[in-house]
Amino acid sequence: MGLLEIKNLHANIGDKEILKGVNLTINPGEVHAIMGPNGSGKSTLSAVLTGNPTYTVTEGSVMFNGKNLLEMAPEDRAREGMFLSFQYPVEIPGVSMVNFIRTAVNEKRKYQGQPALSATEFLKMMRERKDLVELDNKLANRSVNEGFSGGEKKRNEIFQMAMLEPKLSILDETDSGLDIDALRIVAKGVNHLRNSENASIVITHYQRLLDYIVPDVVHVLYKGRIVKTEGRELVAELEEKGYDWIKREQGDL
């Protein structure tokens, strides 16, 4: 049984159908890339999987870890091991980074029946994981994402991922707006966390990131459906030819 099994997933925003029957199975240890033109529904898929209330699921099922994901509150999905690195991380003025991540870590531990970390244990863990993504010490005492540069926000997402050790991480365009150095740091963090138990979905437009985080499977999402699934060689093909041939195959050009 897969870690994530999506069957015929349909989802709306308001009256508008965005996902029109997505099927996808992800096994532990795998990295899947999801590519596709702007507006295809990639962010919608990640939002639906994490339980964003803006979207309504109208049809289909999603099993995560053998449990019905769609019935779970967003916080329970997270504590079951789902993680989204947001395309646009949210700023939360007045809530310090330390307080935020400590609450998240300890809530997860509570859910798993483990005691809260002591202050020392927590700080040690935080220091290690922060170093992994070369996040500035100062940021820990600032409000969540407030006044962070674009690159800092993305590295902060990977830092949170490192702290929460998810089973499934969805990276939604974590590479957009990153210079090559930041991209390398992000990729290093992701690869470091990769093991045979967990899995990732990497959503991106470009080959760049996939040179660093090498996918096992590559999907193309187009108009709310997965229209192509191949091995990693598809990345180079898309980079070379763009999406027009896919659109043509779909009878749109």
Partner 1 sequence: MSVEQSYIDIYNQMAGKVKAQSSAPLNALRDEAFKAFADRGFPTKKWEDFQRSDLRERYATDYGMNLTQFNINFNPYKTFKCDVQSIKSHLFFVVNDVFYCNDPKVADEIAALEQQGIVAGSLRQVAQTHPELVAKYYGKAAKWDVDTTVAFNTAFAQDGFFIYVPKQVQIDAPIQIINVMNADLDMMATSRNLVVVEEGAKLQLLVCGHAAKQFNYLCNRVTEVFVGNYGTLEMYKLEDTECCMTNIGSLFVEQQADSNVLINEITLKNGFTRNNINVELKGEHAELNLCGMAIGDGDKHIDNHTFVKHAVGHCKTNELYKYIMNDASVGSFDGKIMVDKDSQKTEAYQSNRNIVVTPTAKMYTKPHLEIYADDVKCSHGATVGQLDKEALFYMQSRGIPEAEARMLLMVAFANDVIENIRIEALRTRMRLLVERRFRGEVKACSSCPDLCM
Ligand X SMILES: Nc1ncnc2c1ncn2[C@@H]1O[C@H](COP(=O)(O)OP(=O)(O)O)[C@@H](O)[C@H]1O
Footprint on this chain of ligand X (rule: CB under 6 A)? 13, 16, 18, 36, 38-44
Number of residues that bind Mg ion (CB under 5 A): 2
User: Does residue 51 touch partner 1 according to CB under 8 A?
Assistant: yes
Q: What is the DSSP string of 65-92?
A: TTEEGGGS-HHHHHHTTEEEE-SSPPPE
Q: Is the Cβ of residue 79 or residue 200 nearer to Mg ion in the bound state? A: 200
Among Mg ion, partner 1, ligand X, none, what does residue 132 contact (CB within 5–8 Å per kind)?
A: none
Report 154-183 residues binding partner 1 (CB under 8 A).
160, 164
Contacts of 71 (CB under 8 A, 6+ apart): none
**Piece of the chain touching partner 1 by CB under 8 A; list 8-16, 84-92, 182-190, 230-238:** 84-92
Q: Cβ closer to ligand X: 64 or 86?
A: 86
**Least distance (Å) between residue 43 CB and Mg ion:** 3
b/e for 212-236, b at 16 or more Cβ within 10 A?
bbebebbbbbbbbbbbbeeeeebbe
Q: How many CB atoms lie within 10 A of CB 72?
A: 17
Crossing angle of helices 119-132 and 150-164, rounded to 10°: 130
198 binds, among ligand X, Mg ion, partner 1, none (CB under 5 to 8 A by kind): none
Give, as ranges, the residues between 35 and 74 that touch Mg ion (CB under 5 A): 42-43
In the list ligand X, Mg ion, partner 1, none, the entry touching 52 (Cβ below 5 to 8 angstroms by class) is partner 1
Instruction: Return the number of the residue (13 or 227) whose C-beta is nearest ligand X.
Output: 13
- Shortest spacing between CB 43 and ligand X, in angstroms: 3
Query: Dihedral of CA 63/67/72/75: which sign?
Result: negative
Smaller CB distance to partner 1: residue 40 or 156? 156
Rounded CA-CA distance 229/47 in Å is: 21
Per-residue interface string for the shown chain with partner 1, residues 89-108, x marking contact by CB under 8 A: xxxxxxx---xxx-xx--xx
Q: Which residues are within 8 A (CB) of 104 and not within 5 positions of it... i.e. 6 or more apart?
A: 78, 160, 163, 164
Instruction: Give the DSSP H/E element, type plus range, for residue 94.
Output: strand 92-96
Residue identified by tokens 């922060």 is 130
Q: Are 197 and 216 in contact (CB under 8 A)?
A: no
Q: Determine the interface stretch with partner 1 among 81-89, 206-214, 216-224, 238-246 (rule: CB under 8 A).
A: 81-89
Q: Which of 252, 198, 206, 207 is nearest to 225 (CA)?
A: 252
Binding residues for partner 1 (CB under 8 A) = 50-53, 73-75, 77-79, 83-84, 86, 89-95, 99-101, 103-104, 107-108, 111, 143-144, 160, 164
Binding residues for Mg ion (CB under 5 A) = 42-43
